[in-house]
Amino acid sequence: MASITLDALRKEFADVVAVDDVELTLEDGEFLVLLGPSGCGKSTTLRMIAGLEEPTGGDLRVGSESVVAKPPAARNFAMVFQQIALYPHMSVRDNISSPLRADGIDTAAIDRQVEETARTLDIESLLDRRPGELSGGQQQRVAIGRALVREPEAFLLDEPFSKLDQKLRTQLQTELTRLQEEMGVTTVFVTHNQEEAMVLADRIAIMNDGSLEQVGTPSEVYEHPANRFVADFIGNPTMNFFDASLSEGTLSVADTTLDGVPVEGSPEVAELAARPEDLALVEEGGSFEATLEFVEMRGSTRYLICTNDAGEELTVRYDGDASVTEGERYAFAFDFGGVDLFAVDGERVSADLEAALATHST
Amino acid sequence: MDTDDLTSYSRLFVRGTLVVLALAWLCWIWIPVGWDFFRGLAVHPQTAPPHFVPHQLTLVHYQQLLTGGFLTYVRNSAIVTTTSTVISIVVATLAAYSINRYNPGDGQVMMFILGMRFLPPIAVVIPLYMMFLKFHLIDSWYGLIVAYLTIGIPISTWIMLIFFRRVPVALEEACWIDGWSRLQTLRRVVLPLVAPGIASAAIITAILMWNEYTMALVLTTTNSAQTIPIYLAGFVTTRGILWGQMGAATMIAITPIIVIAFLLQERLVAGFSLEGSDG
């Protein structure tokens, strides 16, 4: 087990840059989720780490040793594939023991380790069956077993749960987190599902168009998205975006202004992004008005889906007790403490809105 | 309810039609075989008008065949067919694997390989004859084997390619990740999964070689290399067709093919049906 460093790792296919000089260091034992929309280069990055794809440029180090020239078999990484990829002509036992037999460990030790892994994953009774006789969830457990059975330098998982139903996915996510913590193995998990990323990750690396957009803990990327792409991608329901401008310390958005905003330089603010919980339905003194289209229930939380005068859809979390009527116009206000500002180029503008609010209240 | 009846009727109709067609097809294939079978057993195979089932049966034609040098031709056929099939399958398996995984020339290689099969055999065999003369390969097993590889390798490569396409690359990648080398992966994962393809390619190639006539006719001259089809053609003489011996020889000639096909039946069916092999 060791840290893994991606040093300007690059992959080009013909004239397409799939992975564009990615710089990333995984700490020993860390659970990192590579998150992004399909085609963003996250799977290619994982496959380069595994040795299944040869980088066009850059370096990959395990500890301090470069492994770029090593074939997959010599890297001692365990991988779980999206296609599950169990050997259909072998029993579950032979599937799980495959990495051990490749190492040439003696049979008694192999049997012991396979039984132990099977017990951990609750698939002992399936050992003598063929993969074709198992359900999707059982197959994925076996695939995880094949990865867990040895002590690899790292676990690499490529959207392993994408074909499973929600309940099974949640169950396997929990088990995976527990096993990963117990074993303390550095893990890279690729997914396009931001909720899955939030649940699993120590840190999330968000990719778009082959580049890293932001790397941070789940709460960092949620609370402080580095740019408009991350803001839009992370969070469900998604963020609400408003046209905004900032000049001489005065922020203008919708029908309201906030002055005394301390800001460095003169960034060209284009948009304000507010999460559903950063907007509130108010009796009076609202920043804008919108028509309530319908109320969406998510568990115990209610969201108001509204349309503003420009016809844009907005989502507002509603914690109030008063009943609301669909089709009515309501006033809404910003909680400036939680919103984010983005410049014309999509980058985050750091401006201390809370400081501005504080001066107002005094 | 009504639509259910309708679909079940139309399904029945389709099934019935298929059964009738299959039976017609079977007759089309087996009546000539039956004809040969009974000629081989008939005391007077040339009777006119011919009886499909002769009145008197005898084994004399088989006896004449076995004492008359037929076995030399069977031996030639067996050696040439077996050797060229084995070489074809080994080369084709490796070739198809490489073509499938590395896709050289964006699929043009496959067209190039198959392109040779578009030529009439006679267009290939005349230049071969000229070359073989120089290399002293006329009328030898080696010559015939080399000639047959020009048919066997393309055909079996093409068949094997269909089977390799159905083995997901992820299975191989999983095997590399497990720590096995490329060659070990081929042996442990890929070959077992294309085994039905190997069986299909082998039997199809073997049948083609066993029955090949044009090349054998041009490239062999004596019984030191001539094969069964050449011997069979010899029963068409200037004084008529020797139906009895021809029927008997045909029966002996088709027996090994039928036996092998029967033994490999399950493999072949598994091979031809698109049974999913992905995990």
Which pLDDT score is estimated for B3?
Answer: 57
Report how far residue A5's alpha carbon sits from residue A221's, in angstroms, rounded to the nearest whole number: 21
- Which chain A residue's Cα is nearest to B191? A89
Q: How large is the angle between the packed helices A136-148 and A92-103, nearest 10 degrees?
A: 20
Of residues A59 and B4, more confidence is placed in A59
- Which chain B residue's Cα is nearest to A92? B279
- Which chain B residue's Cα is nearest to A151? B178
Of residues B50 and A294, more confidence is placed in A294
- Which chain A residue's Cα is nearest to B190? A87
Contact A76, A31 (CB under 8 A): no
ipTM reported for the complex, 2 dp: 0.84
Report how far residue A189's alpha carbon sits from residue A47's, in angstroms, rounded to the nearest whole number: 11
A258-263: Cβ within 8 A, 24+ apart: A258/A336, A258/A353, A258/A356, A258/A357, A258/A360, A259/A356, A260/A355, A260/A356, A260/A359, A260/A360, A261/A351, A261/A352, A261/A353, A261/A355, A261/A356, A262/A351, A262/A352, A262/A355, A262/A356, A263/A349, A263/A351
Mean pLDDT of B141-169: 91
Name the CA dihedral angle for A107, A111, A114, A117, rounded to a multiple of 10 degrees: -130
Please list every residue in chain A whose beta carbon sits closer than 8 Å to the beta carbon of residue B188.
87
Please list every residue in chain A whose beta carbon sits closer than 8 Å to the beta carbon of residue B179.
73, 76, 99, 102-103
Conformational region of residue A65, where left means phi above 0, alpha means psi within -120 to 50, and beta covers everything else: beta
Report how far residue A148's alpha carbon sits from residue B197's, in angstroms, rounded to the nearest whole number: 34
> What CATH code would you report for B60-272?
1.10.3720.10
Strand spans (E) along A261-328: 269-274, 279-282, 288-298, 301-308, 313-318
Residues comprising chain A, all counted? 362
Report how far residue A1's alpha carbon sits from residue A130's, in angstroms, rounded to the nearest whole number: 32
Tell me whether residues B176 and A86 touch, CB distance under 8 A.
no
Average the pLDDT over each of A153-162, A228-237, A254-263 and give the range with the smallest value.
A254-263
- Which chain B residue's Cα is nearest to A88? B279
Mean pLDDT of A82-92: 92
Please list every residue in chain A whose beta carbon sits closer than 8 Å to the beta carbon of residue B192.
89
Question: Domain map of chain B by residue range?
Answer: 60-272
Which pLDDT score is estimated for B275?
Answer: 43
Tell me whether residues B177 and A72 touch, CB distance under 8 A.
yes
Please list every residue in chain A whose beta carbon sits closer than 8 Å to the beta carbon of residue B178.
73, 98-99, 102, 146
> Structure tokens of B203?
């039997």
**pLDDT at residue A328 greater than cutoff 70:** yes
> Structure tokens of A16?
């397409």
Tell me whether residues B168 and A85 touch, CB distance under 8 A.
yes
Residues of B with CB under 8 A from a CB of A: 168, 170-171, 173-181, 184, 188-189, 192-193, 277-279
Mean pLDDT of A5-11: 94
Average pLDDT, chain A: 90
- pLDDT level of residue A273 (50, 70, 90 thresholds): very high
Q: For A85, which of B170, B180, B192 is closest by C-beta distance?
A: B170
B56-to-B45, B46, B48, B104, B251 alpha-carbon distances in Å? 10, 13, 15, 62, 18
Q: Is the domain covering A237-361 a CATH 3.40.250.10 domain?
A: no
Question: Domain map of chain A by residue range?
Answer: 4-230, 237-361
Contact B131, B223 (CB under 8 A): no
**pLDDT at residue B273 greater than cutoff 60:** no
Report how far residue B171's alpha carbon sits from residue B194's, in angstroms, rounded to the nearest whole number: 13
Which DSSP string do the residues of B157-195 spell out, in sequence order?
Answer: HHHHHHHHHTS-HHHHHHHHHTT--HHHHIIIIIHHHHH
Please list every residue in chain B whose beta carbon sits closer than 8 Å to the beta carbon of residue A134.
none
Tell me whether residues B170 and A79 touch, CB distance under 8 A.
no
**pLDDT at residue A45 greater than cutoff 90:** yes
**pLDDT at residue A356 greater than cutoff 80:** no
Please list every residue in chain B whose beta carbon sits closer than 8 Å to the beta carbon of residue A89.
189, 192-193
Please list every residue in chain B whose beta carbon sits closer than 8 Å to the beta carbon of residue A131.
279
- pLDDT level of residue A287 (50, 70, 90 thresholds): confident
Tell me whether residues A81 and B173 touch, CB distance under 8 A.
yes
Q: What are the start-end ranges of the H helices in chain B?
A: 2-41, 60-67, 70-102, 108-115, 121-135, 141-165, 169-177, 182-185, 191-211, 214-219, 228-233, 243-263, 265-272
Report how far residue A223's alpha carbon sits from residue A354's, in angstroms, rounded to the nearest whole number: 14
Which position has the token pair 């963020």?
A239
First to last CA, chain A: 54
Best CA proximity match to A25, nearest among A146, A196, A186, A174: A186
Tell me whether residues B176 and A51 touch, CB distance under 8 A.
yes
**Mutation target vs A (from B101, B166, B178; most A CBs, 10 A cutoff):** B178
**pLDDT at residue B132 greater than cutoff 90:** yes
> Structure tokens of B196?
């039905």
Note the pLDDT tens digit of each residue in B181-230.
988 999 999 999 998 889 889 988 999 999 999 999 999 999 999 999 99
CA distance A72 to chain B (A): 5
Which pLDDT score is estimated for B2?
Answer: 54
CA distance B173 to chain A (A): 7
Residues comprising chain B, all counted? 279
Q: CA A18, B166, A155 angle in degrees (round to 5)?
A: 50
> What CATH code would you report for A4-230?
3.40.50.300
Mean pLDDT of A139-163: 91
- pLDDT level of residue B276 (50, 70, 90 thresholds): very low
Report how far residue A29's alpha carbon sits from residue B109's, in angstroms, rounded to the nearest whole number: 47
* pTM, to two decimals: 0.80
* A228 in B contact zone (CB under 8 Å): no
Tell me whether residues B177 and A131 touch, CB distance under 8 A.
no
Instruction: Return the number of other C-beta atoms located less than 10 Å from residue B97's C-beta.
Output: 20
CB–CB contacts below 8 A, A to B? 67
- Which chain B residue's Cα is nearest to A146? B178
Share of chain A residues as helix, strand and coil, in percent rounded to the nearest 5: 30, 35, 35
Tell me whether residues A89 and B181 touch, CB distance under 8 A.
no
CA distance A105 to chain B (A): 12
First to last CA, chain B: 39
Which pLDDT score is estimated for B71?
Answer: 92
Average pLDDT, chain B: 87
Phi, then psi, of B140 in degrees rounded to 5:
-135, 155
Tell me whether residues A98 and B277 touch, CB distance under 8 A.
no
Which DSSP string do the residues of A155-177 spell out, in sequence order?
Answer: EEEESTTTTS-HHHHHHHHHHHH
Contact A20, A33 (CB under 8 A): no
Which pLDDT score is estimated for B274?
Answer: 43
* A199 in B contact zone (CB under 8 Å): no
Which pLDDT score is estimated for A307?
Answer: 92
Contact B128, B189 (CB under 8 A): no
Report how far residue B252's alpha carbon sits from residue B258's, in angstroms, rounded to the nearest whole number: 10
Tell me whether residues A102 and B179 touch, CB distance under 8 A.
yes
* A86 in B contact zone (CB under 8 Å): yes
Phi, then psi, of A218 in degrees rounded to 5:
-55, -40
Please list every residue in chain B whose beta carbon sits closer than 8 Å to the beta carbon of residue A83.
168, 170, 278-279
B259-to-A15, A31, A253, B22, B35 alpha-carbon distances in Å? 55, 59, 85, 22, 20
Report how far residue B198's alpha carbon sits from residue B274's, in angstroms, rounded to the nearest whole number: 15
Which pLDDT score is estimated for B278?
Answer: 39
**pLDDT at residue B279 greater than cutoff 80:** no
Helix (H) or strand (E) holding A242: strand A240-247
Best CA proximity match to A343, nearest among A288, A266, A287, A278: A266
Conformational region of residue B179, where left means phi above 0, alpha means psi within -120 to 50, and beta covers everything else: left
- pLDDT level of residue B19 (50, 70, 90 thresholds): very high
Q: For B177, which of A50, A89, A139 is closest by C-beta distance?
A: A50
* A256 in B contact zone (CB under 8 Å): no
